[in-house]
Amino acid sequence: MNKEKILTSLNQLEESLNELFNKTITKVEEVDTLLLANGFCKCTTSKEIPNKRTKHGIYIFEAKVSLDVKFDELWKERQLNNKVPNLNDQDSKSNKILYVGKSTSSGVLSRVNEHYKTINELESTYALKIGGDEFKKYKISCNYYQYECDKSSYANAIIAIFEQLLHDKLQPRVGSSR
């Protein structure tokens, strides 16, 4: 890549990040516009999808039924003996956005699939592990966004920046800020 193309790409990234810093984002629909304009493509799933290859990217777990106090109690109980992300203890936490994450080492769907496992199926890694019956009432789905330029040398940094900013804006119910 020549110097002129790199500068153009960096200028576009800076514009996008400035837009994101100054924008209020509270819903997945608002995320769609931003990420689709910046080299991501969107897919959605409500269950594990094995053996499908995807690129690196960002994912957002969203509940169609509000995450309530009972959800918080269930999650706190799960935290005691399992490798699951921490419950967000901020007052401004979302009642619809469950989790925001990224995958920069394997395809984004591979990481999403780990979150759809159950406690007993997956113990070696931090994941939501929402495959159990106790979460069905919340009608949780996942929007995942593949970064189309994931072979570029700065793709992981771009994905990480967008993921952190979206986490800060959306205030998901689970997962602590990095």
Instruction: Please list, in sequence order, all residues whose beta carbon lies within 8 angstroms of the beta carbon of residue 164, skipping any fewer than 6 positions away.
Output: 177, 178
Longest dimension (CA), the chain: 55
Note the pLDDT of residue 73: 93
Instruction: Please list, in sequence order, all residues whose beta carbon lies within 8 angstroms of the beta carbon of residue 35, skipping any fewer than 6 positions away.
Output: 42, 58, 145, 162
Note the pLDDT of residue 116: 86
Half-sphere exposure of 145 (CA within 13 A, CB side): 26
The span from the CA of 92 to the CA of 112, in Å, is 25
The span from the CA of 84 to the CA of 174, in Å, is 9
**Token duo for residue 24:** 């209020």
pLDDT in tens, the chain (178 residues): 567 777 777 787 777 777 777 778 888 888 988 888 888 989 888 887 766 778 889 999 999 999 999 999 999 988 887 888 899 988 888 999 999 999 988 888 888 888 888 777 656 678 898 988 889 999 999 999 999 876 667 888 889 989 998 999 999 999 876 5
Note the pLDDT of residue 114: 87
Its pTM stands at 0.85
DSSP state of 124: S
